[in-house]
């Protein structure tokens, strides 16, 4: 990590406040992450899935006194509020949009007031909410994308809409699924994939020369389709790759050579 901290206001993220007597039991039955044991100030990573087990919304859950904040994709906040409200039924829980910024801070090397460690991977740094004052040099979303892509961590831009299973996006390796918590929406498919080990594709970083290929560009291993390009920056991108075709042969995108570059945390976890 760098000696000088860098921070970025993540304007593609927004907050939802959930409160009320039943907020824990309500969210416990919806999300991939355990909230029953979530204490104030603790941050956990998770998702809301479709009944078929595909990713609808990635999110972080921050414990608060009497409730929690959900750190969610800004473009999907209203849709997520609507879906949670539909699922609420008779539960006594209030679900409302909450003002305030989401701030990523990396390179700090230590805890900072108002920030919590990113639960996916320590090297990602910290996340802060509201009006916290971060130390360091102000960056932007592009700087943060480069940081996470260097670490090989997928994000919202990689998931698509109701198109990806969370295990394909490495949620099981990034502490985004609690397999011991019991039922949640999409749990049956998710648990079956993990139990049977039938994971044919995963998101992995690729490297190349020059600007990133277009999102959705096909990756070939010889003449065989090996995957697709997802979000990227010059020299590096995330890709959804078939594991049986990610190694061996020569991978190309639009005639350009690309190399799979799995991160150390990924290799250790798998």
Structural domains of the chain sorted by starting position, each given as residue range(s) with its CATH number in brackets: 6-138 (3.30.1360.120), 200-269 (2.40.30.110)
**Structure confidence at residue 247 (pLDDT):** 80
How confident is the model over 109-136, as a mean pLDDT? Answer: 90
User: Residue 87 belongs to what H/E stretch?
Assistant: helix 77-88
d(CA 250, CA 221): 6
**Structure confidence at residue 2 (pLDDT):** 45
| pLDDT tens digits, 145-188 | 999 999 999 999 999 888 899 999 999 999 999 999 989 999 99
| pLDDT tens digits, 1-31 | 446 899 999 999 999 999 999 999 999 999 9
**Structure confidence at residue 1 (pLDDT):** 41
- Predicted TM-score (pTM) above 0.85: yes
Closest alpha carbon to 241 in 173, 253, 197, 210: 253
**Structure confidence at residue 96 (pLDDT):** 98
């Amino acid at each position: 990590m760098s000696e000088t901290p860098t921070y970025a206001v993540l304007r593609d993220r927004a907050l939802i406040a959930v409160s009320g007597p039943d907020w824990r039991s309500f969210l416990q039955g919806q999300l991939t992450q355990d909230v029953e044991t979530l204490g104030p100030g603790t941050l956990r990573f998770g998702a809301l899935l479709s009944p078929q087990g595909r990713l609808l919304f990635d999110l972080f859950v921050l414990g608060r006194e009497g409730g929690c904040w959900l750190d969610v994709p800004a473009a999907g906040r209203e849709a997520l509020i609507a879906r949670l409200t539909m699922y609420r039924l008779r539960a006594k829980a209030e679900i409302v949009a909450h003002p305030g910024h989401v701030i990523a801070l990396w390179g700090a090397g230590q805890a900072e007031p108002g920030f919590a460690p990113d639960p996916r991977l320590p090297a990602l740094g910290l996340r802060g909410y509201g009006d916290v004052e971060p130390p360091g040099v102000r960056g932007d979303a592009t700087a943060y994308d480069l940081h996470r892509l260097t670490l090989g961590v997928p994000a919202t831009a990689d998931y698509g809409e109701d198109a990806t299973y969370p295990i394909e996006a490495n949620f099981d390796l990034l502490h985004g699924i609690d397999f011991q918590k019991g039922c949640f929406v999409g749990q049956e498919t998710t648990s079956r994939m993990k139990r049977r080990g039938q994971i044919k594709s995963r998101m992995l970083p690729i490297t190349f020369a020059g600007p990133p290929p277009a999102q959705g560009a096909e990756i070939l291993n010889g003449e065989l389709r090996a995957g697709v390009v997802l979000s990227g920056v010059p020299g590096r991108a995330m890709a959804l790759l078939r594991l049986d075709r990610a190694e061996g042969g020569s991978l190309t995108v639009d005639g350009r050579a690309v190399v799979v570059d799995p991160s150390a945390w990924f290799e250790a976890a798998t």
